[in-house]
Structure 1
Amino acid sequence: MVQARQRPVGELLREWRDRRRISQLDLAISADISTRHLSFVETGRSKPSRDMVLRLGEHLDVPLRERNRLLLAAGYAPAYTENALGDPGMDAVRQAVRQLLAGHEPYPAAVVDRNWDLVDANAAVGLFVAGIPAELTTNVLRATLHPDGMAPHILNLGEWRAHLLGRLRRQVTQTADAGLSELLDELREYPCDQPVPEVEVPGPGDIFVPLKFRHEGTDLTFFSTVATFGTPLDVTVAELVIESFFPAGPATAAYLREWAARVG
């Protein structure tokens, strides 16, 4: 059996530096090492210490998952744990997530992982996903942009699609994740019957990209905020994203309260 070549740590570090568009000199200065030493590390002439790998990973803003891979490539054990959200040691994280979701009712809020797969959501998200095939609801981007998902009910689909694809494109650049790149290619193939702007240019008075959604004949308008854990030391925790939707006007707020009371 042919085994895949283990890429050396220097090659991976150079790739991350190129991706971040940082020169050797700038990285060496920020990481407080000599340019010569950094050059030797990247070319394999010098083996970095464990602390050096972690320091360079931090200054290159490498995701925790990829910092572990850098350590493995250098011959060291991973520094960051990766626990499943259901593990007993993650009780505090689960409770914090549930508190945030419940506290946001009657407005929708959801938690996704690095693949945009749905981890948890509050009851108000049901307003978005009612009637959507179950196989689509596992991934929020597919659920939103697929023609059998939310897409037919999004009044500004072209604008919202451009916003979501832009976020995913930036995430691909940030993480170099091949799976996310494939997801981006898949989503780009979904049909859209509205113009999709290549660049988000705000109109007069615009302060955010709204989500305009029609629910049972009523037009609703939302804006969203994104939250992450501020000081994660676990890969799973670092990759969790909580997206909360707020009504962009009193009519939408009133409808959400009425809908929540009606569905119980």
Structure 2
Amino acid sequence: MTTVEPRPVGALLRQWRERRRLSQLQLSLDADISSRHLSFVETGRSKPTREMILRLSEQLDVPLRERNGLLLAGGYAPVYPASSLDAPELDAVRTALRQVLAGHEPNPALVVDRHWNLVDGNAGVQLFLDGAAPDLLAPPVNVLRLSLHPEGAAPNIVNLGEWRAHVLGRLRRQAAATGDPVLHDLHAELRDYPCDQPESEVDVPGAGDVVVPLRFRRGDEVLSFFSTTTVFGTPLDITVAELAIESFFPADQSTKDYLQATGRARPGA
């Protein structure tokens, strides 16, 4: 068996600085430390304090999970908890999520984690799930895999090439920003899925478009949506920081009418 030596904290901080495309001078100015001291930290000639690691992490917008890793690499205990979503201390978070999901009906809305696995969703999400292969609906359901897989929602996406390019571009940027190998692997997997439509590397608006639309076939109807992403503004818990709400809104009146009609038809709606 081979063992992999953990990387020193200075090298990890340098990696995050380079990922953010900042010079040592710019980061030292932002963090209010000398560029000489920062250079010594990155090369291992100086051991950073706990407070310096946290300050540099804040300036570099390092995710909370990775901030704990930097602290461990520097010889300090992690400071950010990673609570289970069903833990009592997250009661208010769960309540807020459910209120947002319920309040968004009949429009689809869902909660995902950092790897785009489905955490929760409202009744409106079902229209994207119908007809998908059972293995794609087995937990954990990855919503990006489900959306682009040929046995998932992809056959019902009228503008699959345009939507696929948007999704892959967003995922590529997220993987680059976080350095998360799971996201890199997910991007490689989704990129290999078949698509018989042209894909643009740049989002170019069509007639009347102000955002990239999702045009979804539902029976004889073609529904048009745009989406928004909501995250918690000041998270101090890793689990909370990694949650996002994806909300879909009708992009035209016919889609709005369809959702309102089907929403009223659902039991309990």
Q: TM-score, normalised on structure 2? A: 0.96
Aligned 1:198-209 pairs, distance under 5 A: 198-209=201-212
- Structure 2: how far apart are the matches of 1:121 and 1:201? 30
- Structure 2: how far apart are the matches of 1:109 and 1:202? 24
Q: Determine whether 1:63 maps to 2:72.
A: no
* Counterpart amino acid of residue 159 in structure 1: E
Runs of 5+ consecutive residues of structure 2 not aligned to the other structure: none
* Counterpart amino acid of residue 99 in structure 2: Q
Tell me what 1:139 maps to.
Answer: 142
- Structure 1: how far apart are the matches of 2:207 and 2:257? 26
CA-based RMSD: 1.0
Tell me what 1:101 maps to.
Answer: 101
- Structure 1: how far apart are the matches of 2:55 and 2:6? 22
- Structure 1: how far apart are the matches of 2:209 and 2:147? 23
Worse overlay, 44-53 or 202-211: 202-211
- Structure 2: how far apart are the matches of 1:121 and 1:60? 32
- Structure 1: how far apart are the matches of 2:90 and 2:136? 27
Tell me what 1:83 maps to.
Answer: 83
194, 199, 209: which is aligned to 1:196? 199
* Alpha-carbon offset, residue 79 of structure 1: 1.3
Percent of counterpart pairs with the same letter? 63
Q: Secondary structure at the match of 1:152?
A: helix
* Alpha-carbon offset, residue 216 of structure 1: 1.4
* Counterpart amino acid of residue 22 in structure 2: I
Tell me what 1:234 maps to.
Answer: 237
Aligned 1:42-191 pairs, distance under 5 A: 42-137=42-137, 138-191=141-194
- Structure 2: how far apart are the matches of 1:18 and 1:196? 30
- Structure 1: how far apart are the matches of 2:18 and 2:149? 34
* Gap change, CA 1:215 and 1:203, over 3 Å in 2: closer
Tell me what 1:4 maps to.
Answer: 4
* Alpha-carbon offset, residue 125 of structure 1: 0.3
Tell me what 2:213 maps to.
Answer: 210
* Alpha-carbon offset, residue 204 of structure 1: 4.9
- Structure 1: how far apart are the matches of 2:135 and 2:166? 23
* Counterpart amino acid of residue 12 in structure 1: L
Tell me what 1:258 maps to.
Answer: 261
- Structure 2: how far apart are the matches of 1:2 and 1:198? 41
Tell me what 2:21 maps to.
Answer: 21
Runs of 5+ consecutive residues of structure 1 not aligned to the other structure: none
- Structure 2: how far apart are the matches of 1:120 and 1:204? 34
The aligned length equals 264
- Structure 1: how far apart are the matches of 2:133 and 2:261? 25
* Alpha-carbon offset, residue 193 of structure 1: 1.0
